[in-house]
Amino acid sequence: MAVMIKSITEIGNYRDYNDDSCYYDERKGLMVMADGMGGYAGGSLASSIAVDVFKKYFIGVSPETYKTDLTDLFSICNDEILSEAKRKPAYSEMGTTLTVICFESGRYYIAHIGDSRAYLFRKGKLTRLTEDHNMVGELLRSGQISKRDAQHHPGKNMLTKVIGRKPLSEISFYSGKIMKDDLFLLCTDGMSGYLDDKKIAAVIKYNYSLEQILNQLVEKVLDREGKDNITAIIAKII
């Protein structure tokens, strides 16, 4: 199966800089999403370093060794961000989320750190494939708060895992079969923080092209006075 991929990024309603970076390669079956943190310039630098590593070094994964293959690349990202932070003390606290999807041998493989999200839309149903590595995610998984409480909890912005820390944060891995007409969506919390899963599913369901889906998602976030950068990548299995 082949894959068709599109992306979009928007600075948002309030910021004058963009900390998000993304990259895709249809030929390699690769999608990369990074949302930087650490203040002006530091966040964008961290996310761009992570994306550049995958641009330079990703050659594919093996179904038997995908965890090792992706861990090696995540480690390079982590090391390069730490090295750059040492050279530029003003960026000593910079870091980034990093969520990667790759397609190989009829399956998808995901490696994930942070709160950028991966979704699968299949046969009219949207499934979230990743768990958020933030304070709200931890509280939800432990049963200390409800999904309703989570929508407005201040811990949404408190990451518990990022790229750019020593040692490398523990990576979450996910994999599964792909089917013709599957849609995979990667997005930063600048989108998922303003649109719940039902709203995202509705946009995907009632728009036909990948560009229409992305444009409608961003438009809805902006209409809700989204204060963060908004970035998304969408892929269709063809």
Sign of CA dihedral 58, 59, 65, 66: positive
Identify the segments of the chain with pLDDT beneath 50. Answer: none
pLDDT at 187: 98
pLDDT in tens, 90-117: 898 999 999 999 999 999 999 999 999 9
At the topology level, CATH places domain 3-237 in: Phosphatase 2c; domain 1 (3.60.40)
Per-domain boundaries in the chain: 3-237
Contact indicator for 219, 200 with CB cutoff of 8 Å: no
- Cα gap 173→100, rounded to integer Å: 10
pLDDT in tens, 5-28: 999 999 988 888 999 999 999 999
